[in-house]
Amino acid sequence: MNTSMTAFAVGGMTCGGCARRVSEALAALPGVLKVAVALSAGRVEVETAAGFDPAAVVARLGAMGFSAQQSAP
Ligand SMILES: [Cu+2]
């Protein structure tokens, strides 16, 4: 199966609780295989199945009150 890594700049994560909520929410999205959250860097990387739309990550985080923008890997 082809997978790809996509990175996001995420604003609004202030503590380990935020990081854990982000990690769990993204891991629950269909097509997301792995999530890595770098709290201090405000950076999130997801490994996803082929055909996954990164907009789903932005939408999910936006609904939780975090700003998210796809960034260079
Ligand atoms: Cu927090």
Closest CA to 33 of 68, 57, 66: 57
Burial class (CB in 10 A: 0-12, 13-18, 19+), 57: buried
Using N-to-C axis directions, what is the helix angle for 55-63 and 16-27, rounded to 10°?
130
- What per-residue confidence (pLDDT) applies to 38? 98
Residue 51, domain CATH: 3.30.70.100
- CA of 33 from ligand 1 middle (Å) equals 23
Contact 66, 8 (CB under 8 A): no
For residue range 6-28, list pLDDT tens digits in order.
999 999 999 999 999 999 999 99
- CA of 31 from ligand 1 middle (Å) equals 25
- Domain membership of residue 46 as a residue range: 3-71
Count how many domains the chain has. 1
For residue range 23-43, list pLDDT tens digits in order.
999 999 999 999 999 999 999
- CA of 12 from ligand 1 middle (Å) equals 8
- What per-residue confidence (pLDDT) applies to 10? 98
> Given a cut of 80, is residue 73 above it in pLDDT?
no
Arithmetic mean of pLDDT, 37-57: 97
What's the whole-model pTM score? 0.93
